[in-house]
Amino acid sequence: MSPFEIVVVSGKGGTGKTTLTACFAAMAEVPRVMADADVDAPNLGIILSPRETESRPFFGMKVAHVDAARCVGCGECLRFCRFGAIVMKDGKAVVDPGFCEGCGGCLLVCPESCIDKRAFQRGVLRRGETDFGPMWHARLAPGGENSGMLVALVRKEARREATELKAPLILVDGPPGVGCPATSSLTGAGLAVLVVEPSRSALSDLRRVIDLCRTLSLPFGVAINRWDISPEVTEEIRAVCDAEGWPVLGAVPFDERIARAVSDGRIPVEEMGRPLAELWRAILRRGSA
């Protein structure tokens, strides 16, 4: 039986999804594997404190590279490139790998055939052991491309290890928003938990993520965090969810003790108390539906 993968996401950063993911990791009663799919700004490890056991470079897609010894400086590649990735320096073509999209067109127009495609390191993939099981995470290099590919690799390794360990559960802390990293984190998952807080942008952020989940035919449920910061907006969120048929899995109130626990490096399961336990049970029910 394949492991069941729960991905915790949000329409924007700062909703508390990472803290909730860490709590779920601590509360799960079955063997599990954790993954941090926010490769641009990973922070699940800040709470789970993985003890690193493996690290390997991530190269991403191949991009153009010019052999300076053979380049005659004709400029054909420069004129062809639509991404501004090629410049002339000291009479030679030079490719900026940060701008190259890897289309390969410059290889076709180069009369000297002095351009090929090479892989450049874009980030680092890591594995660690936490108190609750293995955790896979990664960090993309500043300005690095292929974040969706790195997210997919993190999830692939988490699924592989969960299968090998016969762990029935994978918990993924997904990236915020609805861009390529978020899409990569959700594709093929078993359930998405959409964390929202009662802010002015809450409903528009939530609707965008739900549209993405529906495009991916992915079951989802809504978790309202810090609901008592604005009970009026929370009621508005609940009303819209009821009208649209979006399942609300639970709501967790704000408590200063939660923030203090996180700042101390502790997982605030006790501080969140019964609302968190009810939310987790609802997630499990939704996952088994």
pLDDT, tens digit (0-9, with 9 covering 90-100), for 101-156: 899 999 999 999 999 999 888 899 999 999 999 999 999 988 776 789 999 999 99
β-bridge pairing 4-10 and 169-176: parallel
Q: Are residues 188 and 229 in the same domain?
A: yes
Contact 281/289 with Cβ under 8 angstroms? no
Q: Quick one: pLDDT at residue 219? A: 97
Same domain for 151 and 90: no
Which pLDDT score is estimated for 147? 85
| Residues lower than pLDDT 70 in the chain | 145
Select from 99, 119, 139 the last residue of a domain.
Answer: 119
179 shares a domain with 153: yes
Given 119, 141, 161, the domain boundary residue is: 119
Q: How many domains does the chain have?
A: 2
Residues 151, 69, single domain; the answer is no
Task: Identify the pLDDT of residue 288.
Answer: 84
Residue 282 is part of which domain span? 4-58+123-288
109 contacts: CB under 8 Å, gap ≥ 6: 76, 77, 80
Q: Count how many Cα atoms sit within 13 Å of the Cα of residue 29 in the half-sphere of its side chain.
A: 4
Cα–Cα distance for residue pair 287/8, rounded to 1 Å: 13
Q: Kindly state whether residues 114 and 247 are assigned to the same domain.
A: no
Say if CB 86 and CB 73 are below 8 A apart: no
Are the C-beta atoms of 135 and 167 separated by less than 8 Å? no
Last residue of a domain, one of 119, 135, 161: 119
Same domain, 136 and 209: yes
- 72 and 29 in one domain? no
**CB atoms < 10 A from the CB of 116, how many?**
13
96, 87 contact by CB (below 8 A):
yes
CATH for 114: 3.30.70.20
260 and 153: one domain?
A: yes
Are residues 168 and 218 located together in one domain of the fold?
A: yes
Q: In this predicted structure, what is the pLDDT of residue 145?
A: 67
pLDDT at 141: 86
Are 185 and 169 found together in one domain? yes
